[in-house]
Every structure is written in C-alpha cells, then in structure tokens.
Structure 1
Amino acid sequence: MATESTAGLALVSTFCPDRVGLVSGITSHLFEQGINLRDATFASLGSGAEFSAVCELPDNLTVAEVQASLSSLPVLAGAEVKVSPFAFDPQPGPQALITHRVEVSGGDQPGLVARLSEIFTQFDANIVRLDAQTLPDRAGERYVLRFSVSIPAERAEICLSAVANTAETLGLTCRTEAL
C-alpha cells in the first residue's frame, strides 16, 4: 500500500535482448524526463538483459506515461517493459547492509543455489544480491555463484564455515570476503 514516503515512486523493469547501449539508453531517457534513480540493477541473462530500478517520478509524470515513453525507445524495441507504483519503503533496512561476499565455483550441480541459500537462512543471513553464471573454462565450463549477504556478526564465522564445508564436500571452491 502506498504511503506518503512511497508516493511518486515507481519500479521500472525491462527485459530484452542484450545489446550495447542498453543501460545508457534507458537511464538517459529517464533522466531527460526528470526521473531520479534510486536502487537499480542490470544483468545479462543468457543473451537477454534485465534492468530494474526504483525511480522517483516528478509530480507531473504518471506511471503509464513512463511505460509508454520507454516502450517507444528504439533501444527497447521488442522489450518487455513494465512500470508500476513502488509500494515498499525506498530506504533499505539493516538486513540489506552487505557484510560479506561469498563466491562458490566449480561444476554446476542441480539444487546448488537452493542448498547454499538454505545454509544462509539457517544462520539468519539475508541474501542481498545473487549472481550465477556459467563461464568458459579450459576444462569446459565453470559455474560461478556470487552471493552478497548480510550475516549477523555473531553468526558470521559459523555460517561461512558451513558454506565452505558444503562447497568442499561437493568438490567446489569457496572464497569469502568480509566487508
């Protein structure tokens, strides 16, 4: 439900074939309309690309107008474009503060993301960002998972040990970084 703090906020989401100039085309257009970006993400997904952003709309601009104008951009030809009111608090809470980065890599295994994310849940760790990629390697392909997580300080050491032990059991490598 929209509140005074969420009035004028919109979630802009696009999905389309990946191409050079996509981010600059979208963000330049939003800027030209007087829209300010808050939290934003971009990712290549296979040969597609996804852009999402929480945006502050000027008072004279509606969600429908933003969606129509984005849909008409040549850089977004053939894209799925969705603009909707953003009803959540735009200020991230404490569980969005990234305390650690964790990278697990090796051969892809069904259920790997589920297995590792369950470990984070067991230790009250919040996954703030997740990136998974299949990369070319000398031996064929290498699957890389990158988690940016918020782990309570008193549980960090045991949580990271559990992730590393699970990775080792599965024949994967694990690197962690405290921030």
Structure 2
Amino acid sequence: MTTTALVSIIGPDRVGLVSAITGRLFDLGADLGDTSFAVLGGGAEFTAICEFSGGMELEVLQAELEALPELVDAEVKVSRFELSSMHPASETITHTITVSGGDSPGLMARLCEVFQQFDANIVRLNSERVPGVGQRQYVISASVAIPPQNENTCLATVTNTAGELGLTCQWTNVSA
C-alpha cells in the first residue's frame, strides 16, 4: 500500500534546515517527488510530495518531522496528496524567463496574464525583492510550458510588457 503525502513546512530559516528535513524523510522511507524550498524574508518554506511504498501514517510522519531540532518554532503540516504525483506532458517546461528591474506594482499580475493569454502554463514561479541602487529591485523567474504554436508571440509579448515597465527580460528555450 503506497501512501502519498504533501509535507508543508514554514518557519525560521536556518543553516542545515533542508538537510535535516530531507534526511529525516529519507530515514522514514520517503521517495521525494516535486520539492521546493525558498527563503521568504527571515523565514523559509519547504514543500514536497512524498511517496511511501510501504505505507505511512500521516500523524506519525508529522510527529517525526516536528521532533527535529531544526524545526523548532516551525509550522509543519502533513496531508494526504490525492492528485497525481507526476506532471502531465502539457506541464513540461519549455522556457525559463527572468524579468528584473525596479519594483513595479502589478508586475506579477501582468506577466501572469500574458502567460494565460497564450495558454502558457506556469510550472514554477519565484520572485524576490533585492536591494538596488536608489530603489529596490525585483526579480521574477518563471519556468513555463508554452505551446509551440504560441511560443514566438508569447515571448515577444512578455519582452514588450517588461520593456513598457522599464525592466529587462531574458529567456532560455530549455526544450531545444
């Protein structure tokens, strides 16, 4: 009996945090699927799909993770994951796109609207405010699946949208 769990942890960022979590999951027999980690301000967020081929009680998994010293003051949530643990072919990343420059209100929403307009699926999305000369800088990195018939117009529109906001845009075709 296989148990598939979604593990979500948010708490203070610490050196060794990811090592402690993934090491404990390995010790418990987890096969990690999609996993993400990000520092969010002074905190950190870890999320993973974990498959246990021999089964696993979710309450036991949560207690084991909560017992880690690196997770003191962290919120640990473990829940059954009922969706597919594998990406469909339509979510295969075709491009990575980075938009950066001065912080511009509404930037994230405008970029996401462009992706939707061209049926591009956002597979991963990260944004970060970083110190800059005179003003904060903003960096958005997106890994997207753009349908081949929409590739050129989608990329041109993303580039033009960034340019209208005084931002730079770089993209890489990762499916070629």
TM-score in same-fold range (> 0.5): yes
What is the match of residue 142 of structure 1?
137
**Partners of 2:100 and 2:41 in 1: CA distance:** 18
Indicate whether 1:89 and 2:84 are aligned.
yes
| Structure 1: tracts of 5 or more residues without a match | none
Q: Deviations over 1:108-130 (max 9, x none)?
A: 11111011100000000000011
* Residue of structure 2 in register with 1:103 after alignment: 98
The aligned counterpart of 1:16 is 11
Cα distance in structure 2, aligned partners of 1:76 and 1:136: 29
Residue equivalent to 1:160: 155
* Corresponding letter in the other structure for 2:155: L
Structure 2: which amino acid aligns with 1:57?
F
Amino acid at match of 1:160: L
Distance, in Å, in 2 between the alignment partners of 1:96 and 1:14 is: 25
Q: Distance in 2 between matches of 1:71 and 1:43?
A: 19
> How many Å separate the matches in 2 of 1:69 and 1:58?
18
Gaps of 5+ in 2: none
Hey, what's the Cα distance between the residues in 2 that align with 1:86 and 1:62? 13
2-structure distance, mates of 1:107, 1:140: 7
Superposed, which structure 2 residues align to 1:1-179 within 5 Å?
A: 7-179=2-174
Deviation, structure 1 residue 153: 0.7
Q: Name the TM-score, length of structure 2 as normaliser.
A: 0.95
- Paired residues, number: 174
